[in-house]
Amino acid sequence: YTLFIVLYPMGVTGELLTIYAALPHVRRSGLYSVTLPNKYNISFDYYTVLILVMISYIP
């Protein structure tokens, strides 16, 4: 369990840094985003989801 105390924060930091590094590319390319108008009349912004995921990591 002692090693977990060190490895868990390192893993979270690595994930957050990876998401942060990907944000400019996701914003520029519109990766995994769905814009209106479309068949289902919905909109989805992956960039915003990534930011919300990053915020949810804060305890």
Residues labelled catalytic: 8, 15
Which amino acid, 40? Y
DSSP H helices in the chain? 2-29, 46-56
Residue-wise over 17-27: b if at least 16 C-beta within 10 A, else e?
A: eeeeeeeeebe
